[in-house]
């Protein structure tokens, strides 16, 4: 069964190899004349001020945590979907309860404003 994945290993090796080759082509063929202006961070022509990475706004973390919650739900849906036909009403009802709990959470999240971006 492991031999099923051999082609993937081959593709991985080929794509990584070609990728590295492409990465270095520019270094080999292109000019290399660094000047201070070229190396400065690009800010639409202005002088850059302040450090590049300041505090990352917390809304990104919030999106990430919410994503994890619902992604786990999706992950649990997948094996259930595979055996769904054999499970009959038992599968539908038990997964329905799981789905209900997550939906309650989603409704709460929505109304409390957790899904607002700004």
What is the smallest separation between the CB atom of 47 and other proteins, expressed in angstroms? 13
- How far apart (Å, rounded) are the C-alpha atoms in residues 9 and 90? 40
Contacts of 95 (CB under 8 A, 6+ apart): 77, 80
CA atoms within 13 A on the CB side of 78: 5
Q: Which of 47, 55, 56, 58 binds other proteins (CB under 8 A)?
A: 56
By CB under 8 A, the count of residues binding other proteins is 81
What is the smallest separation between the CB atom of 9 and other proteins, expressed in angstroms? 7
Q: Which of residues 59-78 bind other proteins (CB under 8 A)?
A: 60, 63-64, 66-67, 70-71, 74-75, 77-78
């Amino acid at each position: 069964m492991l031999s099923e994945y051999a082609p993937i290993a081959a593709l991985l090796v080929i794509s990584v190899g070609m990728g590295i080759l492409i990465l270095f082509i520019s270094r080999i063929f292109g000019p290399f004349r660094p000047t201070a202006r070229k190396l400065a961070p690009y800010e639409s022509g202005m002088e850059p001020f302040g450090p590049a990475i300041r505090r990352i706004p917390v809304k990104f973390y919030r999106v990430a945590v919410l994503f994890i919650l619902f992604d786990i739900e999706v992950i649990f849906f997948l094996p259930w979907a595979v055996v769904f036909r054999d499970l009959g009403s038992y599968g539908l009802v038990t997964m329905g309860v799981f789905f209900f709990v997550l939906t309650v959470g989603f409704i709460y999240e929505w109304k409390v404003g957790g899904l607002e971006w700004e």
